[in-house]
Structure 1
Amino acid sequence: MTQSDNVKLGEFRHIDVYEVDDVTVVHFKESRITDDLGIQELGQELFSLVDQGNRTKLLLNFANVQFLSSGALGKLRALENRVSKRGGVVKLCSINPNIYEVFKITRFDTIFQIFKTEADALASF
């Protein structure tokens, strides 16, 4: 599925958001998610999708991301908690091998379903 097939939702500073059927797909704009202010803003944008948009099927596409700090991992965990409390699910895809290693070390690979491609992930919902 190409991005042109999707409906883009709103304007965000740190993410591009698309609606694919009933799944909200998030693409990160930055390749490095490391500074505290940016992570706080990113968290607010992601949380608003759940809190204001009432979205419960999220797919986070990490294709653009080369580096992720521990603070960003904390935001992902908090997002997962918010979504699961609403009976929803957060899935991840297109993760750089170096970031995937961090996910394994921190056991995030046991918290999130992780897929190689966006298409594979979308098919799993």
Structure 2
Amino acid sequence: MARHLKIFQVEKEPPCIFVTPLGQGASFRYADLQMESNSVRTLVADQTVPLLIIDLKNMNYFGSEFIGALITLGREKKLRGGKVAICSANPNMYDVLKGMSLFKLWPYFESRDEAIAGLSGESA
């Protein structure tokens, strides 16, 4: 799925869609990030996969533009009645996301499996 993407890996495994950023967020050109975010947003809007899990396992750093792109993806899923979670951030990125209050928007889980279980167990 979406093999042309260079910034995000997208996997659709109903009821989940996994978005995994590749590489380092600070190294992406803004125009490329926006173009890919728009492509991924279309995939995230698919209501047949109600759970969006943003997997940060590959990230060591990302800037504000990158965080903005992730927020846009999460909002798109929420607007479509879906649920969103973040998982697998390294300790430094976890602290950054926590400091930015992102976990007030969406829950955080240590792994994909925990995120799937957590979102599946939540009431709608």
Same fold, TM-score > 0.5, yes or no: yes
Mark the runs of 5 or more structure 1 residues left unpaired by the alignment: 1-8
Query: Which aligned runs of 4 or more in structure 1 are off by greater than 2 angstroms?
Result: 53-56
Distance in 1 between residues matched to 2:20 and 2:78, nearest whole Å: 20
Select the residue among 25, 28, 32 that pairs with 1:33. 25
CA 118–84 in structure 1, closer or farther in 2 if over 3 Å, else same: same
* Structure 2 residue runs without a partner (length 5+): none
Aligned to 1:100: 94
- SS of the residue 1:99 aligns to: helix
- Does 1:22 pair with 2:15? yes
Aligned to 2:69: 75
Match among 46, 58, 63 for residue 64 of structure 1: 58
Bigger share in strand: 1
Task: Show the counterpart of 1:10.
Answer: 2
One-letter identity of the residue aligned with 1:25: F
Give the secondary-structure state (helix, strand or coil) at the position aligned to 1:65: coil
Aligned mate of 2:114, from 102, 114, 120: 120
The CA deviation at 1:50 is: 2.6
How far, CA to CA, are the matches of 2:104 and 2:68 in structure 1? 15
Structure 1 residue matching 2:19: 3-state secondary structure: strand
Map of 1:50 onto structure 2: 44
Please give the secondary structure, in 1, of the residue aligned with 2:114: helix
Question: What RMSD in Å do the two structures reach over aligned CA positions?
Answer: 1.7
State how far apart, in whole Å, the 2-side matches of 1:10 and 1:74 are: 21
Give 1:69's aligned amino acid: G
TM-score, structure 1 as length reference: 0.80
CA contact (8 A) 1:33 1:39 kept: no
Q: Which deviates more from structure 2 when the two are superposed, residues 37-46 or residues 61-70?
A: 37-46
Q: Tell me the CA shift for residue 93 of structure 1.
A: 0.6
Report the count of equivalent residues. 115
Q: Is 2:83 the partner of 1:89?
A: yes
* Identical columns (%): 23
**What secondary structure sits across from 1:68 in the alignment?**
coil
